[in-house]
């Protein structure tokens, strides 16, 4: 484990003003994103769509890393440049989703555990050869009845995240550790805070037990937010305060950056929440973004698979990157959306 390399990679990805583009949608997920805009998911449409994102001018000011899916890491731009090289040339670090998805946890109805540890050491070595400098593993916890997520599901997911993170650091890939409490459901913000707190406490205990270097990782959590079906939605300051309280309690100061997922929030809400947290004060970690939907939804609805829409789609993408860059500094305002 090269401690200096891990630390500098993590700091580079989450440098001030910068965040991450999560473009690591699996085959079924990208199909789901393309369906509403009438685009068939083929290897070529997926390649072209990712190329539109990666070649948008000026995003390197705001994007420090891009998370790829296995297929994308092996694809090339129209001029033949491999995607990882294209990003390297722009000063953006390529990363790779390495988990194999959340599966039903045996004897724990309603709970899931993320799989993908078997053979992971070999896959990481290959991804490193292909240009990746960091990796991502996502655990998902749904909030449902009182015993979901169960203690056991939280422990099983935390253990898998720690084993993955240790394997990454063994070959100097920065692990992005993503324990996601989903915002599906009708739970209120307090229930989300309890589940998120519990998950983070377990995750850091396991990371520590596995010898993972906190300085050489990034945490990708959910924000503390009510479920989408909860009648009592929270204001922007409420989300920011609950999220910051939870992070202060459970995330060690040695972790260089917290890069939030957007989890189904609108693009504007995700930017607003990040901004409010950064406007509230100084933190031991960078507070940044690793958004999938909140960066890409406006791009997809503008592109619609039509070449003539590419310049407008790239303008939308640049705008979202820029506004999230401002939210990193706490100087975004909702009025900027109209500009």
Task: Please list the active-site residues.
Answer: 220
Using the structure block, give the residue that is written with the tokens 């070529």. Answer: 44
Alpha carbons within 13 angstroms on the beta-carbon side of residue 270 total 28
State the minimum distance, in angstroms, from the CB of residue 123 to ligand 13P: 18
Query: Residue 274 belongs to what H/E stretch?
Result: helix 267-279
5 or 184: whose CB is closer to ligand 13P? 184
292 or 298: whose CB is closer to ligand 13P? 292
Tell me the C-alpha distance between 226 and 191, whole Å. Answer: 8
168 or 254: whose CB is closer to ligand 13P? 168
State the minimum distance, in angstroms, from the CB of residue 137 to ligand 13P: 9
State the minimum distance, in angstroms, from the CB of residue 145 to ligand 13P: 24
Tell me the C-alpha distance between 110 and 1, whole Å. Answer: 37
25 or 335: whose CB is closer to ligand 13P? 25
State the minimum distance, in angstroms, from the CB of residue 288 to ligand 13P: 12
Looking at the DSSP bridge assignments, the partners of residue 114 are 102
Residue pair 171/130 in contact (Cβ under 8 Å)? The answer is no
216 or 292: whose CB is closer to ligand 13P? 292
Residue pair 260/224 in contact (Cβ under 8 Å)? The answer is no
Q: Which residue is nearest to ligand 13P (CB)?
A: 292
State the minimum distance, in angstroms, from the CB of residue 178 to ligand 13P: 6
Binding interface with ligand 13P (CB under 6 A): 22, 24, 138, 178, 261-263, 291-294
Q: Enter the tokens of residue 338.
A: 């109209």
Backbone φ and ψ of 76, nearest 5°: -125, 160
Residue pair 173/127 in contact (Cβ under 8 Å)? The answer is yes
- Give the DSSP letter string of 140-208: EE---STTSS-HHHHHHHHHHHHHHHHHHHHTTPEEEEEEEE---SS--HHHHHHHHHHHHHHHHHHHH
68 or 291: whose CB is closer to ligand 13P? 291
Residue pair 259/288 in contact (Cβ under 8 Å)? The answer is yes
Report CA dihedral (242, 248, 249, 255) to the nearest 10 degrees. Answer: 130
State the minimum distance, in angstroms, from the CB of residue 184 to ligand 13P: 12
Region for 16 from its dihedrals, namely left if φ exceeds 0, alpha if ψ lies in -120 to 50, beta otherwise: beta
């Amino acid at each position: 484990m090269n401690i200096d390399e891990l630390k500098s990679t993590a700091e580079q990805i989450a440098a001030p003003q910068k965040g991450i583009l999560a473009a690591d949608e699996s085959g079924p997920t990208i199909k789901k994103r393309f369906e509403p805009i009438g685009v068939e998911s083929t290897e070529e449409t997926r390649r072209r769509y990712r190329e539109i994102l990666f070649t948008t001018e000026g995003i390197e000011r705001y994007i420090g890393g891009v998370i790829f899916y296995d297929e994308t890491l092996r694809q090339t731009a129209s001029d033949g440049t491999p995607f990882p090289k294209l990003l390297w040339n722009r000063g953006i670090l390529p990363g790779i989703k390495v988990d194999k998805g959340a599966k039903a946890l045996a004897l724990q109805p309603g709970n899931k555990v993320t799989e993908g540890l078997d053979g992971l050491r070999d896959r990481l070595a290959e991804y490193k050869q292909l240009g990746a400098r960091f990796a991502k593993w996502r655990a998902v916890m749904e909030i449902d009845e009182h015993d979901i997520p169960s203690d056991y599901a939280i422990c099983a997911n935390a253990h898998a995240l720690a084993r993955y993170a240790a394997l990454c650091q063994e070959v100097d890939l920065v692990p992005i550790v993503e324990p996601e409490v989903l915002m599906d459901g009708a739970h209120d913000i307090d229930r989300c805070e309890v589940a998120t707190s519990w998950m983070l406490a377990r995750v850091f205990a396991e990371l520590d037990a596995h010898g993972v270097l906190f300085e050489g990782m990034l945490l990708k959590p959910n924000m503390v937010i009510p479920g989408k079906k909860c009648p009592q939605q929270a204001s922007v300051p409420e989300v920011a305060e609950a999220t910051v309280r939870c992070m202060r309690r459970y995330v060690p100061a040695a972790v260089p950056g917290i890069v939030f997922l957007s989890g189904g929030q609108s693009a504007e809400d995700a930017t607003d929440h990040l901004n409010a947290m950064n406007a509230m004060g100084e933190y031991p970690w960078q507070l940044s973004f690793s958004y999938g939907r909140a960066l890409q939804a406006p791009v997809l609805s503008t592109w619609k698979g039509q070449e003539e829409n590419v310049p407008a789609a790239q303008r939308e993408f640049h705008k979202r990157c820029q506004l999230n860059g401002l939210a990193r500094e706490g100087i975004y305002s909702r009025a900027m959306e109209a500009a």
